[in-house]
Amino acid sequence: MKRAMLIAGNWKMYKGPSEAQAFCAAFAPPRGVDVVLLPAFPALAATVESGTTVFAQNVHWEDEGAFTGEVSASMLHELGVVGALVGHSERRQLFGETDDGVARRVAHALEAGLHVIACVGETGEERERGQMEEVLRRQLSVLQRHERLAVAYEPVWAIGTGVTATPEQVQAAHAFVKGLVDVPVLYGGSVKPDNAAELLAQPGVDGALVGGASLDVASFTAICETASALRS
């Protein structure tokens, strides 16, 4: 029997505690799919209380210290959070996170017992210059296989733009990633109910990191149901 797909909903800087509670009260994940929600930090506790599996949107590489604005693995554990997203393109592009920082965050989170989704992906300019494989190779070089590690391939040019990579582009990128790191690989980049089936059916696609479409209960449920049907 095939392994269940992982569908992760990244809420980014949307939904405070009350909105998170309302979403979870209306959301019933289908059987046969692993579902994870990634709320903003203030909504972590409210989402955990719903019984849904919860990951944080980031985690630091130290247990404690003078790191204003950061959160540690031990703090997440205390809340009941079981994993973290690391290296999202918005963290890299807007906040200057580096491959070295990603490596340190991933390594510490795994050592601390968290699950990790590590993000990789090229910009539009890098793809146009034929540098997709070079960029992915560099970003993946700091990662090692681990039973609690998954990778999300998220082409930066397809995040929040409404542009989605073609099935052929997704398949090629996932095959390349899996050739370097033997872990589950999710696709992230404008995943919606109307394209989820085509994207998730591609060889090497083990799930999806969903952004905007995860904010609406009906939309996110439809994507989860598609993933469940594909693995049933």
Per-residue pLDDT reduced to its tens digit, 184-216: 999 998 899 999 999 999 999 999 999 999 999
Q: Is the pLDDT of residue 16 over 60?
A: yes
| Prediction pTM value | 0.96
Q: Is the pLDDT of residue 99 over 90?
A: yes
Mean residue pLDDT across the chain:
95
| Average pLDDT over every residue of 108-124 | 97
Catalytic residues: 88, 154
Q: Which pLDDT belongs to residue 163?
A: 76
| Average pLDDT over every residue of 12-16 | 98
Q: Is the pLDDT of residue 165 over 80?
A: yes
Q: Which pLDDT belongs to residue 2?
A: 66
Q: Which pLDDT belongs to residue 189?
A: 87
What is the rounded (10 degree) CA torsion for 222, 168, 206, 177? -150
Query: Domain locations in the chain?
Result: 5-231
Q: Which pLDDT belongs to residue 164?
A: 77
Topology of the domain covering 5-231:
TIM Barrel (3.20.20)
Q: Which pLDDT belongs to residue 157?
A: 85
Q: Which pLDDT belongs to residue 161?
A: 74
Q: How far apart are CA 200 and CA 213, in angstroms?
A: 15
* Chain segment 22-81, per-residue pLDDT in tens: 999 999 999 999 999 999 999 999 999 999 999 999 999 999 999 999 999 999 999 999
Q: Which pLDDT belongs to residue 94?
A: 94
